[in-house]
């Protein structure tokens, strides 16, 4: 059974691990699929390049790291430089141009101004990671928007629900427009 592998990289604190967990939870708990999420783990200081991997499949999943990514999401230049080679030939690469200038890769490179859009339309950078979830859903249909909303409702603070939902919608629109 084919699986979809997504690798995220960002600066520690940008919330990319949250992004990965939301998507993997949505697929697992609300869509009955299998998913594995893992992240780089080491004695790193805040601000270093973090990496989060998710694998989603209708079938069994074994080796927990993404060896060849269908989708690579980069929110930081250092992480892009370090991990971009994980992309499958012809895979989808999503970068935030505020932080990343992509090189010449054998991939479909899409520049989505996610951070600037969040700041402009919501004004709170804290929901950036949820906007990234939306952008991925909008571009790839990796899970249903309702599943992501259910995770936000289920696992994130209720006081931030409306803000997170809006960030998700902003991301979905951005992603759909670029798809």
Partner 1 sequence: MAENIQFIPGSDACIEGALYAGCEFFAGYPITPSSEVAEGLSKELPKRGGKFIQMEDEIASMACVIGASLAGKKSMTATSGPGFSLKQEGIGYACMTETPCVIANVQRGGPSTGNPTHVAQGDTMQARWGAHGDHSIIAMTASNLQDVFKMTVEAFNLAETYRTPVVLMFDEATQHLREKVVIPEPGEIEVIDRIRTDIPVGEQYYPYLTDANGQRPMSDFGAGHRFHVTGLHHNLLGFPDVSPENVNELIHHLVDKIDSKANEIARYKEYYMDDADYVIVCYGTTTRSALQAAEDYRNQLGIKVGVLELQVVWPFADEIVREKCANAKAVIVSEMNMGQIVREVRRVVDQPEKVYFSNRVDNQIIKPADIKAALRMITGKGV
Binding site for partner 1 (CB under 8 A): 21, 24-25, 28-29, 34-39, 41-43, 60-65, 67
CA dihedral over 75, 99, 124, 41, signed as positive or negative: positive
Rounded CA-CA distance 127/53 in Å is 20
Looking at the Cβ atoms of 43 and 159, the one nearer to partner 1 is 43
Looking at the Cβ atoms of 39 and 77, the one nearer to partner 1 is 39
CB of 176 to partner 1, least distance (A): 26
Crossing angle of helices 161-178 and 114-121, rounded to 10°? 130
Picking from 72, 54, 75, the residue whose alpha carbon sits closest to that of residue 10 is: 75
CB of 164 to partner 1, least distance (A): 18
CB of 104 to partner 1, least distance (A): 28
Give strand ranges (E) for the chain: 3-11, 34-39, 49-57, 69-74, 87-95, 107-111
CB of 139 to partner 1, least distance (A): 23
Looking at the Cβ atoms of 35 and 118, the one nearer to partner 1 is 35
């Amino acid at each position: 059974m084919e699986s979809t592998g997504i690798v995220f990289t960002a600066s520690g604190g940008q919330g990319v691990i949250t992004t990965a967990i939301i998507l993997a939870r949505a697929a697992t708990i609300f869509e009955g699929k299998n998913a594995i999420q893992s992240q780089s783990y080491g004695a790193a200081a805040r601000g270093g390049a973090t990496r989060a991997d998710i694998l989603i499949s209708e079938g069994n999943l074994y080796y927990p790291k993404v060896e060849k990514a269908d989708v690579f999401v980069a929110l930081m230049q250092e992480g892009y430089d370090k991990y971009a080679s994980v992309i499958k030939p012809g895979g989808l690469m999503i970068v935030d141009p505020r932080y990343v200038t992509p090189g010449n890769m054998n991939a479909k490179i899409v520049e989505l101004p996610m951070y600037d859009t969040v700041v402009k339309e919501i004004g709170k950078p804290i929901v950036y990671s949820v906007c990234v979830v939306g952008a991925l859903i909008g571009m790839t249909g990796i899970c249903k928007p309702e599943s992501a909303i259910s995770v936000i409702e289920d696992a994130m603070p209720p006081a931030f629900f409306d803000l997170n939902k809006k960030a998700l919608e902003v991301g979905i629109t951005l992603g759909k427009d670029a798809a």
